Amino acid sequence: MSGKFTFTMIKPDAVNAGNAGAIIKMIQEAGFRIVAMKKTKLTQERAGEFYAVHSERPFYNDLCAYMSSGAIIPMILEKDNAVEDFRTLIGATDPTKAAVGTIRNLFAKSIEANAIHGSDSDENAQIEGNFFFAGTERF
Ligand code: GTP
Ligand code: MG
């Protein structure tokens, strides 16, 4: 049975391009409730921790440099079947393969600068939410 929460962050390319508002509007119109949200910036080291699962991949260093290059907007979201439904809303990792009308189809610039993150499991949603919001009150 899938859970009610997922974690997302709007990535530096989308924040820089001024697309955060449009993306948040799409998220809310798709039925997700924002439980927690802030604007912040990762250091290269914190980006490395967040994406530690990819540390053996060839793009890891570039990914960490990119993810620490500008402001991000992390959020915890609530909806039935949150993880799967959110992955559907954002579309495939590579924007050239993302379905028409998905967030990455509309806003991503490349496979790396792909506008938004979405947790891939209930367990990771919890870990990633705590990474940014541990000790923060949630509503
Ligand atoms: P996230 O929601 O950000 O975790 O993306 P994802 O689950 O769709 O993809 P994955 O976890 O496999 O990769 C994490 C991130 O690494 C992607 O969102 C991209 O920003 C980046 N990435 C993935 N594959 C590539 C690649 O082949 N080249 C480069 N440069 N970056 C990649
Ligand atoms: Mg992933």
pLDDT digits (tens, 9 = 90+) for 49-95: 999 999 999 999 999 999 999 999 999 999 999 999 999 999 999 99
Residue 1 is predicted with a pLDDT of 46
**Identity at 89, one-letter amino acid code:** L
C-alpha torsion sign, points 105, 111, 117, 118: positive
Mutation probe of ligand 1 site: the residue of 8, 42, 64, 93 with most atoms within 8 A of C-beta: 93
Task: Provide the residue ranges of all domains of the chain, joining segments of one domain with +.
Answer: 5-133
Instruction: Give residue 128 CA to ligand 2 midpoint distance, Å.
Output: 11
> Which band of pLDDT confidence, cut at 50, 70 and 90, is reported for residue 137?
confident
What is this structure's pTM? 0.96
* CATH number, span 5-133: 3.30.70.141
Catalytic status, residue 117: yes
> Which band of pLDDT confidence, cut at 50, 70 and 90, is reported for residue 2?
confident
Q: Are 71 and 39 in contact (CB under 8 A)?
A: yes
Q: Please count the other Cβ atoms lying within 10 Å of the Cβ belonging to residue 83.
A: 23
